[in-house]
């Protein structure tokens, strides 16, 4: 039987097993391949000819058009050629009359090169104005590595971006997700562009961006729909969230600030907060309770110290207000030689906590960092000294402990046994090996870990560890996962 997408009057072609499948099945297959492969399938037969133009979700990523294998340092000419290929693919997919069905979501990742933005802009404008695009997920990449990018280059990227949005304002109407790389907003009204113009924006990611040295980013957007904000290695002295009523998730990775880097005002929906940074000489140590002041609904909290000294001061009861709805706490990047008993302060402050995840940091790659270079940035690691009374109360809701990077070290056993004494209803202890590190792997070491102790692998080793933890009791269960 002739395919419903074949033209009338054509002779039926000999179909292979894939071609006789329903359109929905074939489209689900096309969704799993990159867009250049999906477009090429249109030449297979009349059965496949129109299928790429029926895809309701499109992902066009310029990195799929780079040479394979992709080098660590991408040449400017490769970026240019990749954008040429991307533009050609976009023209093909948005062309009329082939494109008749609505694109529910378009994920578009491209290099912020002005000569190509003038080609992409009209294509986007036409498909938006014709009502064929609902949601746009736009990622504007920098063609240089962050360390190679000068302030002048970042300023030029900002001008190119602003020129693009100014020339094609219809993009704002369906822009629901925006990711920017290497943009300096010092000459632009950052708040106006991201919140007054991007009225439909729900997800914002900034990578290696800034608004000038020691700048404070103040966000007061009561009408914003933004629900997710991600900040990665951006040079803000502080971010003041005065008003973001629909913000649900905030992730900030790596800051440099002499002050508390974050403050909260009206953020009633904020439930998930992730803070990740190493403590350098340029950062300050602060009270977590002061940073969290103003939050009322956090249920998931992640703190990552990246293997250096803690950037929070000792606290316990002061955290009770901010922790009154906390369900899951993740503490990552705790240096392997540190005691862990101090983390019980969080257990005391969060009686509603159900899951606690601890990850110790033990990387062989750190031993290869130049000592003089390291001392110029980081202080000598010192074991946390939290002199507190950890015998006040017990946590009856904690059900699960996940321990990543378990190495059968004495301080790890001391912590787990102490936790058991304060969590009578703990049901599961999941002990995991260290997560893989590409830098450690590049050193051709047998393990990421620099310590002599290793993860228990044999049944006898695991049984011995379980007995040492539980004293032979059946509860909680101890599960090993290398």
Query: What is the sign, positive or negative, of the torsion defined by CA atoms of 417, 423, 428, 434?
Result: negative
Residue 359 is inside which H or E element, if any? strand 355-361
Q: What is the pLDDT of residue 101?
A: 76
pLDDT band at 159; cut points 50, 70, 90 = very high
How far apart are alpha carbons 236 and 401 in whole angstroms? 35
How far apart are alpha carbons 279 and 414 in whole angstroms? 26
What integer best gives the mean pLDDT of the chain?
86
In the 8-state DSSP scheme, what is residue 286? B
Per residue in 255-293, pLDDT (tens digit) is: 999 999 999 999 999 999 999 999 999 999 999 999 999
Look at 68 and 155; give whichever has higher pLDDT.
155
- Tell me the mean pLDDT in the region 436-451: 58
User: Residue ranges per domain, the chain?
Assistant: 30-69+76-94+101-270, 277-385+392-436+452-481
CATH topology of domain 277-385+392-436+452-481: 3.80.10
Q: Are 155 and 162 in contact (CB under 8 A)?
A: no
Per residue in 342-351, pLDDT (tens digit) is: 999 999 899 9
Residue 66's DSSP bridge partners are none
How far apart are alpha carbons 405 and 367 in whole angstroms? 18
Q: Which of 42-56, 351-365, 390-404 has the lowest mean pLDDT?
A: 42-56
- What is the percent of the chain where pLDDT is above 90? 60
Please give the model's pTM, rounded to 2 decimal places: 0.88
Among candidate residues 178, 216, 217, the one with its CA nearest the CA of residue 197: 178
In terms of Cβ atoms closer than 10 Å to its own Cβ (0-12, 13-18, 19+), residue 65 is buried
**Half-sphere exposure of residue 416, counting CA atoms within 13 Å on the CB side?**
30
How far apart are alpha carbons 330 and 298 in whole angstroms? 13
The angle at the Cα of 308, spanning 305 to 312, to the nearest 5 degrees, equals 55
Q: What is the pLDDT of residue 209?
A: 94
Q: What is the pLDDT of residue 311?
A: 97
Q: What is the pLDDT of residue 2?
A: 45
Q: Which of 17-21, 66-70, 320-324, 336-340 has the lowest mean pLDDT?
A: 17-21
Distances (CA, A) of 8 to 2, 5, 19, 225: 9, 9, 18, 47
Q: Are 168 and 194 in contact (CB under 8 A)?
A: no
State yes or no: pLDDT of 21 exceeds 90: no
């Amino acid at each position: 039987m002739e395919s419903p997408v074949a033209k009338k009057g054509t002779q039926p072609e000999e179909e292979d097993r894939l071609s006789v499948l329903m359109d929905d099945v074939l489209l689900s297959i096309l969704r799993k391949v990159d867009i250049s492969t999906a477009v090429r399938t249109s030449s297979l037969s009349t059965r496949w000819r129109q299928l790429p133009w029926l895809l309701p979700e499109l992902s066009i990523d310029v990195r799929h058009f780079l040479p394979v294998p992709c080098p660590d340092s991408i040449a400017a000419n490769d970026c240019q050629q990749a954008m040429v290929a991307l533009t050609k693919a976009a023209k093909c997919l948005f062309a009329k009359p082939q494109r008749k069905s609505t694109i529910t979501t378009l994920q578009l990742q491209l290099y912020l090169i002005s000569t190509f933005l003038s080609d992409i802009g009209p294509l986007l404008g036409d498909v938006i104005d014709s009502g064929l695009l609902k949601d746009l997920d736009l990622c504007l990449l920098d063609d240089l590595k962050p360390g190679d990018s000068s302030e002048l280059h970042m300023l030029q990227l900002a001008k190119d971006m602003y020129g693009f949005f100014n020339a094609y304002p219809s993009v704002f109407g369906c822009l629901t997700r925006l990711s920017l790389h290497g943009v300096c907003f010092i000459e632009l009204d950052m708040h106006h562009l991201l919140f007054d113009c991007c009225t439909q924006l729900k997800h914002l990611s900034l990578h290696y961006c800034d608004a000038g040295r020691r700048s404070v980013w103040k966000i007061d957007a009561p009408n914003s729909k933004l629900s997710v904000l991600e900040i990665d290695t951006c040079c803000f002295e502080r971010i003041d969230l005065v008003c973001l009523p629909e913000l649900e998730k905030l992730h900030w990775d790596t800051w440099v600030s002499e002050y508390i880097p974050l403050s909260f005002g009206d953020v009633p929906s904020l439930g998930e907060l992730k803070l990740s940074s190493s403590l350098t000489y340029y950062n300050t140590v602060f009270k977590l309770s002061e940073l969290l002041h103003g939050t009322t609904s956090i249920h998931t909290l992640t703190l990552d110290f990246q293997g250096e000294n803690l950037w929070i001061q000792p606290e316990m009861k002061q955290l009770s207000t901010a922790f009154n709805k906390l369900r899951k706490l993740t503490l990552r990047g705790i240096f392997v030689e540190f005691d862990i008993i101090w983390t019980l302060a969080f257990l005391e402050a969060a009686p509603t906590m159900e899951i606690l995840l601890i990850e110790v940091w033990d990387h062989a790659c750190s031993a290869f960092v130049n000592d003089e270079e390291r001392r110029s940035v980081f202080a000598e690691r010192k074991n946390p000294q939290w002199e507190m009374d950890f015998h006040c109360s017990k946590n009856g809701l904690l059900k699960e402990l996940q321990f990543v990077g378990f190495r059968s070290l004495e301080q790890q056993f001391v912590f787990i046994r102490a936790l058991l004494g304060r969590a009578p209803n703990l049901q599961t202890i999941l002990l995991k090996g260290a997560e893989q590190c590409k830098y450690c792997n590049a050193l051709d070491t047998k393990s990421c870990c620099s310590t002599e102790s290793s993860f228990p692998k044999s049944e006898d080793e695991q049984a011995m560890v379980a007995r040492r933890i539980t004293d032979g009791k059946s509860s909680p269960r101890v599960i090993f996962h290398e």
